[in-house]
Amino acid sequence: MSFINWETTFDFTLPPPLPPIELDIPTYGLNGGAGYTAGEFTNVAPAITDTPVGVDALDLLFFSHDVASGQATALINPFDPSTVPLSLAAQAQADYQLLQGIEQLNGQALRDPEASLYAGGAELATIALLELNPVGVDLTPKELKHALKDAVHNIESGLKHLDASELQQVQGFVADVSTALDAIHLQPSAILQAADIHLPKLHHHTVDLLV
């Protein structure tokens, strides 16, 4: 199965004051990706009363995250600045629930290599969002270490079982990511080592792609 939509991408840009990098991130299923819900890009988040749609368990987690993110955004009153921290805290909780949900998916739910690969990437992105959010959930060192290890495990598991054409697409994408990180002097290996994740335990092709 192929649930990563390599031709349907969304723009990812780091918010100020972080160094600007721009990446085209592929979407996943019907809901994986910023602003991507029920198979289309929309500015309207799904409501809690909407029927969940998704290609698999991971995609359904993304749908639930879209609902929660919409609820967080709805808390903002443009005439009341005090509502912004409330919205940020609610968004942090939504991100935290997504991270926990992915961590709880078992091998059967991520048996498709693209699902496993995208799950790991989503975990890394969600960890970053939680670290950048000034309000709300702060991961404990133990939670951070566990989440990073789970993300690397899912990425590695996905890479091991991709076919040749899928692996070629991944390598091209990761090369773009590495180039962007180099531009802001941020090395993936330093991040993993800081979290006490030892690269020698990973397969050689995983190391090549991550570092």
Residues 152, 197 contacting (CB under 8 angstroms): yes
The answer to whether position 16 is within a domain reads no
Summarised one tens digit per residue, pLDDT across range 58-80 is 999 999 999 999 999 999 999 99
The pTM of the full predicted model, rounded to 2 decimals, is 0.83
Domain range spanning residue 183? 44-210
- CA-only gyration radius of the chain, Å: 17
The answer to whether position 39 is within a domain reads no
**In this predicted structure, what is the pLDDT of residue 200?**
41
The answer to whether position 68 is within a domain reads yes
Non-local CB neighbours of 117 within 8 Å, separated by 6+ positions = 4, 154, 155, 157, 158, 159, 162, 170
Name the domain count of the chain. 1
Least confident of 101-105, 118-122, 168-172, 173-177: 173-177
**In this predicted structure, what is the pLDDT of residue 181?**
59
What CA–CA distance (Å, rounded) separates 8 from 4? 9
The answer to whether position 38 is within a domain reads no
